Amino acid sequence: MAEMQTHTGSCACGAVAYEVDTDLEGLMECNCSHCYRKGFVLAFVSPDAFRVTQEGPQTEYTFNTHKIRHRFCDTCGVQSFARGEKRDGSPMVAVNIRTLTDIEPFSWTAQRVDGRSF
């Protein structure tokens, strides 16, 4: 059983940095046109478990239903997180755990989800 920990992450150049409280369980890789292209591995957390610590210039991108606000760094193009709502309308943050800087690469396991068919 994984334990809840505070992890730190950032984009590649460090202009955008954050902290997230997560047990790294229930991670998801999705085959939709956006997630798959960007190679996301996502953890879904509530906004109170997520804190931006370095807010460099970012561009926001939305598509499809425009409910999820994807943000990527203007300098290096890396997307660390997105903000949106769960199906029940409660706010959530989708964190790209490939941008965590304090865990070993590939130390996680993620479920593959068929987002393309949703």
- In the complex, which residues of this chain contact Zn ion (CB under 5 A)? 11, 13, 15, 73, 75-76
Question: Of the two residues 57 and 105, which places its CB atom closer to Zn ion in the complex?
Answer: 57
Which residue sits closest to Zn ion, CB atoms considered? 73
87 in Cβ contact with 3 (< 8 Å): no
Question: Of the two residues 14 and 115, which places its CB atom closer to Zn ion in the complex?
Answer: 14
Closest approach of Zn ion to the CB of residue 10, in Å? 8
CB proximity list for 66: less than 8 A, separation 6 or greater: none
Closest approach of Zn ion to the CB of residue 26, in Å? 27
Closest approach of Zn ion to the CB of residue 81, in Å? 13
117: left (phi over 0), alpha (psi -120 to 50) or beta: alpha
Burial of 74 (0-12, 13-18, 19+ CB in 10 A): middle
Residue 41: count other Cβ atoms within 10 Å of its Cβ.
Answer: 21
Closest approach of Zn ion to the CB of residue 3, in Å? 30
Question: Of the two residues 56 and 84, which places its CB atom closer to Zn ion in the complex?
Answer: 56
Question: Of the two residues 11 and 24, which places its CB atom closer to Zn ion in the complex?
Answer: 11
Query: Which tokens sit at 41?
Result: 């591995």
